[in-house]
């Protein structure tokens, strides 16, 4: 599992011997068969379908198997506006997905509420309740942008460690794999954000 | 065990199924909001007797994004990009309907070339909407992939046109009150003409793929029949109404824009079932191509924007206006009340797919649960417009 | 006969399958990222600020008039006007934006800021590969990230940029008939690239 000397590896490869580590093999297998959840919310979902269709063909990245059931999915593409009525269902779907699981927040609405952020019924970003791995800005992002995010996610999976202090979240028993589902309160969802997941930045102004 | 069957609608199914039915309770199934064929986040609470639908309650609001409320707090210009996101398949027709209402409100004239461009873009929108609808409907029926891929292949060509004209594939934000934002170059028109001329080839192929298919016929004919009386009294518009044989098309009735100058026919259905609704789209695409061909021939040179219109800080006079157009899904209207301020006092959308959805229960009763998806697909809804 | 309709459909599928090997019209997959479909001239994604000359601070066309901030439908622009004035690239003292932030996690790419800007200062960029693992810092674009040179603008929108330059040169000529030629923007800005 330790790192292999790069020079030795290429030397062996020239002789016809292919050396890999358990970690590389494991991550290679996982990153090339990411099955997304077939789940669209709004406008971005149409671009997600266009990405899966013949022009852009997400199958080239091993992600064409859109699963209608969360139990078989590895990746949730939150594509579209998340309303407060829909947010509990999304968190529940996320909880139902087996580990390891990833989330791509596609489009302005899923990141921050986007153009509809003024609305009383719009959740200001799905990362208030579930951890998001990759964000794609755009309204809606082009299919190429989704593919770019998909490759970014593949890079992230490739970087994950099997052991050690910085090992992947799904191998860490202390790391939660399910998150509390928000409930409808009198005015808003309760809680309004999950403090374990949502850590907003404080804007520092120099001027 | 209690049976509540007696209080419900009489069965419309063949007798042999009814007689072999086991007595039992109704099973309530919640379909959606996460369901592969609910076209977004739509939910139906279906009460099932075996496989037969006895009750159906649609649940909306999973995509309620406060469109109308935001429209009342944004300027007239600022609402234009929001209309793109109503029916996100057809941003061009949404733009047009909104622009038409504001033009009515403030009495603005539109240059000739802009009118032609609007018609070209609206009909292109109709082509891509109907093509992708057919793809989605067939994928709901289990023809996963193939028809949808073919439809999206053609749709991408039209989206390329939209992108090179307006700058965005889906959210075009192209029209303005008093015209269009940018002019179409001669190259663009030539390219559009080429794509439109090739479109019938795709339609022929697509019809060969689906029209005679026995499975499709078995799944759609006599399924979800809608009578003309019910359709009229429920306010159904668009291809769904015309599939029942009612000749009502706002392009002909109102003659908005410059539609009266074009020669085209209105295809009408006979039975009002799912098959007719499906074929209605295929036939309408052929008529759209006829309109487009005429428009490419007639389009004059000239400005595309009325120079008198002030886009920024636009304040229409006090009054109200309702502008409506024949969107691909039916009558799309915007009702605006102005109190003379930069924001509309009231901003109301009449969404075609929401009103077409109101009779879903009538269509589905007595059919099997598998038919519900097909019927819902043939209604052609987009949740962005239903919930707004 | 039952089944002929299905067979006819199958023939269409077979024709598409075989055709996809040699017919260009059926072979439409763009092999992104190795191959990219060219973005049209009009394509827009997120706003950028244009500066003339080589100095991003001094040459910034924006004078912090805040029209775009007011007109932006989703309210994603945040501007703080400077207290003092400093000479712009023409040598005229102008206000400048002390802070100019665009939250691209909110921006809906509607181009209204470009339309309402009277100074041709804000334009649309074509970059779309912006996926990040970090939401807040990466998606809030500050003034220094937004500032792009006129050369860059010429590269992304050659036709539009040439028109804008001609318009600005005309306005400058009208205002200052005796202005030295070296300060007119038409000279300092480069020729549109042939791409």
> Cβ-count burial of A88 within 10 angstroms (0-12 exposed, 13-18 middle, 19+ buried)?
middle
Rg (CA), chain B: 22
- Rounded to a whole number, what is the distance in Å from the CA of C113 to chain A's nearest CA? 14
Q: Which of A102, A106, A32, A36 is nearest to A67 (CA)?
A: A36
**Residue B257 near residue B119 (C-beta atoms within 8 A):** yes
**pLDDT over 80 at C36, yes or no:** yes
Output the average pLDDT for chain A.
85
Provide, as residue numbers in chain A, all residues whose Cβ is less than 8 Å from the Cβ of B171.
43, 139-140
Residue B2 pLDDT level (bands cut at 50, 70, 90): very low
**Residue C74 near residue A117 (C-beta atoms within 8 A):** yes
**Eight-state DSSP code of residue C68:** H
**pLDDT over 80 at B127, yes or no:** yes
Cα C192 to chain centroid distance, Å, stands at 15
Q: Is the peptide bond before A191 cis (omega within 30 degrees of 0)?
A: yes
Residue C195 pLDDT level (bands cut at 50, 70, 90): very low
Residue with tokens 């990746």: A75
Q: Which residue numbers of B have CB closer than 8 Å to C's CBs? A: 74-75, 77-82, 146, 150, 153, 156, 160, 163-168, 171, 173, 181-182, 205, 208-217, 311-312
CA distance B343 to B71: 8
Q: What is the pLDDT of residue B373?
A: 87
Least confident span in B81-90, B178-187, C81-90: C81-90
Q: How many CB atoms lie within 10 A of CB C187?
A: 12
Does A80 reach chain C within 8 Å, measured CB to CB?
no
**pLDDT over 50 at B1, yes or no:** no
Does C7 reach chain B within 8 Å, measured CB to CB?
no
Partner residue facing C9 (CB), from B165, B173, B210: B210
Q: What is the pLDDT of residue B8?
A: 37
Q: What is the pLDDT of residue C190?
A: 46
Q: What is the pLDDT of residue B23?
A: 60
> CA nearest A52 in B: which residue?
B149
Does C114 reach chain B within 8 Å, measured CB to CB?
no
Contacts of A76 (CB under 8 A, 6+ apart): A36, A37, A39, A70, A90, A93, A94, A97, A101, A102, A103, A104
Interface test with C, best of A107, A115, A123, A205 (most C CBs within 10 A): A115
CB contact under 8 A, A147 and C33: yes
**pLDDT over 60 at B92, yes or no:** yes
CB contact under 8 A, A137 and C130: yes
CB contact under 8 A, C116 and B311: yes
CB contact under 8 A, C5 and B74: no
Q: Which of B227, B335, B324, B316 is nearest to B276 (CA)?
A: B227
CB contact under 8 A, B64 and A43: no
Q: Is the peptide bond before B33 cis (omega within 30 degrees of 0)?
A: yes
Contacts of B371 (CB under 8 A, 6+ apart): B53, B219, B223, B224, B364
**Residue B2 near residue B25 (C-beta atoms within 8 A):** yes
Q: How many CB atoms lie within 10 A of CB C118?
A: 10
Provide, as residue numbers in chain B, all residues whose Cβ is less than 8 Å from the Cβ of C40.
160, 163-164, 167
Handedness of CA B302, B307, B311, B314 (dihedral sign): negative
* ∠ CA C108-C114-C118, rounded to 5°: 150
Provide, as residue numbers in chain A, all residues whose Cβ is less than 8 Å from the Cβ of B81.
115
**pLDDT over 50 at C188, yes or no:** no
Burial track C121-140 (b if 16+ CB lie within 10 A, e otherwise): bbbbbbebbbbbeebbebbb
* pLDDT tens track for A142-161: 899 999 999 999 998 888 88
Partner residue facing B152 (CB), from A54, A85, A139: A54
Provide, as residue numbers in chain A, all residues whose Cβ is less than 8 Å from the Cβ of B87.
none
> Which is more confidently placed, A205 or A45?
A45
Rg (CA), chain C: 23
Helices (H), A84-159: 87-96, 107-112, 143-159
Q: Which residue numbers of B have CB closer than 8 Å to A's CBs? A: 33-36, 40-41, 61-67, 69-70, 73, 81-82, 85, 88-89, 148-149, 152-153, 155-156, 159, 169-171, 383-384
Q: How many CB atoms lie within 10 A of CB B129?
A: 25
CA distance B348 to B79: 12
Contacts of B64 (CB under 8 A, 6+ apart): A83, A85, A121, B387, B388
Does A54 reach chain B within 8 Å, measured CB to CB?
yes
**Residue B132 near residue B153 (C-beta atoms within 8 A):** no
**Residue A126 near residue A132 (C-beta atoms within 8 A):** yes
**Residue B208 near residue B236 (C-beta atoms within 8 A):** no
Burial track A69-87 (b if 16+ CB lie within 10 A, e otherwise): ebeebbbbbbbbbbbbbbb
Provide, as residue numbers in chain C, all residues whose Cβ is less than 8 Å from the Cβ of A139.
107-109
Residues B157-173, mean pLDDT to the nearest whole number:
89
Give the C-alpha distances (Å, rounded to integers) separating B280 from A117, B199, B283: 38, 17, 5
Share of chain A above pLDDT 90, in %: 8
Residues B207-225, mean pLDDT to the nearest whole number:
85
Output the average pLDDT for chain B.
85
**pLDDT over 70 at A119, yes or no:** yes
* pLDDT tens track for A64-108: 888 888 898 889 999 888 998 889 989 999 999 988 889 999 988
CA distance A166 to A39: 31
Residues C180-193, mean pLDDT to the nearest whole number:
45
CB contact under 8 A, A117 and C74: yes
CA distance C6 to A75: 36
Helices (H), chain C: 4-22, 67-71, 112-116, 136-139, 143-146, 150-156, 158-175, 185-188
**Residue A108 near residue A69 (C-beta atoms within 8 A):** no
CA distance C125 to B93: 26
* ∠ CA B265-B266-B272, rounded to 5°: 150
**pLDDT over 50 at A41, yes or no:** yes
Share of chain B above pLDDT 70, in %: 93
Neighbours of chain A (3+ CB pairs under 8 A): B, C
What domains does chain C contain, in order, with CATH numbers?
47-126+134-173 (3.30.70.3270)
Q: How many CB atoms lie within 10 A of CB B294?
A: 16
DSSP string, B218-287: HHHTTSS---HHHHHHTT--THHHHTTT----HHHHT--TTGGGS-------SS-SHHHHHHHHHHHHHH
Sheet holding C77-81, edge to edge: C77-81, C97-103, C140-141
pTM of this prediction? Answer: 0.87
Residues B361-383, mean pLDDT to the nearest whole number:
87
**pLDDT over 70 at B3, yes or no:** no
**pLDDT over 50 at C150, yes or no:** yes
Share of chain B above pLDDT 90, in %: 17
Indicate the helix (H) or strand (E) that contains C94: strand C93-94
**Residue A42 near residue B384 (C-beta atoms within 8 A):** yes
Report the residue count for chain B.
Answer: 388
- Rounded to a whole number, what is the distance in Å from the CA of A164 to chain B's nearest CA? 38
Residue with tokens 């890999």: A20
**pLDDT over 80 at B15, yes or no:** no
CA distance B148 to A50: 10
Phi, psi of B320 (to 5 degrees): -140, 155
Q: Which of B105, B106, B103 is nearest to B114 (CA)?
A: B103
CA distance B376 to A139: 27
Residue B289 pLDDT level (bands cut at 50, 70, 90): very high
* pLDDT tens track for B230-259: 999 998 998 999 998 889 989 888 888 888
User: Which residues pair with residue C141 across a beta bridge?
Assistant: C102
Residue A207 pLDDT level (bands cut at 50, 70, 90): low
Does C160 reach chain B within 8 Å, measured CB to CB?
no
**pLDDT over 80 at B188, yes or no:** yes
**pLDDT over 70 at C52, yes or no:** yes
Maximum average pLDDT range among A158-172, B319-333, C175-189:
B319-333
**pLDDT over 70 at A2, yes or no:** no
Report strand pairing: B330-338 vs B346-350. antiparallel
Q: Tokens representing B340?
A: 């003379």
- Rounded to a whole number, what is the distance in Å from the CA of B74 to chain C's nearest CA? 7
Provide, as residue numbers in chain B, all residues whose Cβ is less than 8 Å from the Cβ of C8.
208-209, 212-213
> CA nearest B195 in C: which residue?
C25
DSSP string, B338-376: E-SSSS-SEEEEE-HHHHHHTTHHHHHTTSBHHHHHHHH
CB contact under 8 A, C135 and A152: no
Provide, as residue numbers in chain B, all residues whose Cβ is less than 8 Å from the Cβ of A67.
none
**Eight-state DSSP code of residue B305:** B
């Amino acid at each position: 599992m330790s790192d292999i000397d790069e020079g030795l590896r290429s030397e062996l490869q020239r002789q016809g011997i292919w050396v890999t580590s358990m970690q590389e093999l494991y991550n290679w297998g996982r990153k090339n068969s990411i099955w997304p959840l077939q789940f669209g919310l709004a406008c971005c979902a149409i671009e997600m379908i266009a990405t899966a269709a013949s022009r852009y063909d997400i199958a080239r990245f091993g992600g064409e198997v859109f699963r209608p059931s969360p139990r078989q999915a590895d990746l949730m593409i939150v594509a579209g506006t998340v309303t407060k009525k829909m947010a509990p269902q999304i968190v529940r779907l996320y909880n139902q997905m087996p580990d390891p699981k990833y989330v791509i927040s596609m489009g302005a609405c899923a990141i921050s509420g986007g153009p509809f952020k003024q609305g009383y019924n719009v959740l200001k970003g799905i990362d208030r309740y579930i951890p998001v791995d990759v964000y794609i800005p755009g309204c809606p992002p082009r299919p190429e942008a989704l593919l770019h995010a998909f490759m970014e996610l593949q890079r992230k999976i490739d970087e994950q460690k099997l052991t050690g202090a910085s090992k992947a979240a799904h191998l860490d028993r202390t790391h939660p794999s399910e998150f509390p589902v928000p409930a409808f309160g009198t005015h808003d969802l309760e809680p309004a954000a999950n403090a374990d997941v949502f850590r907003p930045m404080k804007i520092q102004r120099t001027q | 065990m209690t049976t509540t069957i007696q209080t419900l609608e009489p069965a419309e199914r063949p007798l042999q199924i009814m007689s072999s039915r086991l007595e039992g309770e109704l099973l309530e199934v919640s379909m959606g909001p996460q369901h592969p064929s609910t076209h977004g986040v739509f939910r139906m609470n279906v009460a099932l007797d075996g496989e037969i639908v006895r009750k159906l309650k649609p649940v909306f609001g999973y995509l309620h994004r406060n469109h109308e409320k935001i429209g009342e707090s944004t300027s007239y210009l600022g609402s234009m990009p929001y209309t793109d996101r109503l029916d996100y398949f057809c941003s061009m027709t949404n733009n047009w309907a909104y622009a038409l209402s504001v033009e009515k409100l403030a009495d603005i004239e539109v240059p000739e070339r802009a009118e032609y461009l609007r018609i070209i873009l609206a009909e292109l929108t109709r082509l891509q909407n109907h093509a992708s609808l057919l793809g989605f409907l067939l994928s709901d029926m289990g023809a996963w992939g193939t028809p949808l891929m073919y439809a999206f292949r053609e749709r991408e060509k039209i989206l390329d046109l939209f992108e090179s004209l307006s700058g965005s594939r889906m959210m075009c934000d192209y029209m303005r009150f008093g015209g269009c934002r940018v002019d179409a170059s001669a190259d663009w028109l030539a390219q559009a003409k080429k794509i439109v001329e090739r479109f019938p080839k795709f339609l022929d192929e697509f019809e060969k793929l689906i029209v005679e298919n026995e499975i499709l016929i078995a799944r759609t004919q006599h399924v979800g029949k809608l009578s003309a009386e019910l359709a009229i009294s429920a306010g159904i518009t668009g291809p769904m109404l015309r599939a029942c044989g009612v000749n009502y098309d706002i392009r002909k009735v109102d003659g908005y824009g410059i539609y009266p100058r074009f020669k085209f026919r209105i295809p009408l259905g006979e039975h009002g079932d799912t098959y007719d609704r499906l074929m209605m789209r295929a036939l309408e695409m052929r008529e759209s191509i006829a309109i487009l061909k005429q428009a490419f021939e007639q389009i004059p040179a000239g400005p595309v924007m009325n120079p008198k219109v002030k886009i920024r800080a636009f304040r229409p006079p006090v009054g109200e206006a309702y502008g409506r157009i024949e969107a691909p899904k039916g009558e799309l209207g915007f009702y605006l009340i102005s109190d003379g301020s930069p924001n509309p006092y009231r901003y109301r959308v009449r969404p075609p797919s929401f009103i077409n959805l109101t009779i879903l229960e009538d269509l589905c009763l007595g059919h099997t649960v598998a038919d519900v998806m097909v019927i819902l697909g043939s209604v052609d809804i987009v949740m962005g417009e239903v919930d707004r | 006969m039952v089944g002929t309709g299905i067979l006819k459909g199958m023939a269409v599928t077979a024709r598409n399958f075989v055709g996809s090997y040699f017919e260009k019209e059926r072979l439409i997959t763009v092999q992104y990222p190795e191959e990219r479909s060219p973005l049209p001239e009009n394509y827009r994604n997120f706003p950028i600020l244009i500066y003339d000359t080589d100095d991003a601070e001094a040459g910034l066309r924006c004078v912090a008039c805040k029209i775009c901030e007011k007109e932006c439908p989703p309210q994603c622009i945040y501007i703080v006007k400077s207290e003092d004035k400093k000479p712009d690239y023409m040598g005229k003292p102008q206000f400048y934006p002390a802070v100019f932030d665009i939250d691209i996690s909110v921006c809906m790419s509607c181009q209204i800021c470009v339309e309402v800007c009277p100074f041709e200062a804000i334009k649309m960029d074509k970059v779309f590969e912006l996926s990040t693992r970090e939401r807040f810092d990466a998606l809030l674009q500050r003034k220094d990230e937004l500032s792009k040179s006129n050369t860059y603008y010429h590269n992304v929108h050659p036709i539009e940029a040439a028109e804008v330059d001609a318009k600005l040169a005309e306005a400058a000529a009208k205002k200052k008939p005796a202005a030295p030629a070296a300060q007119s923007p038409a000279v300092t800005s480069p020729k549109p690239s042939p791409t």
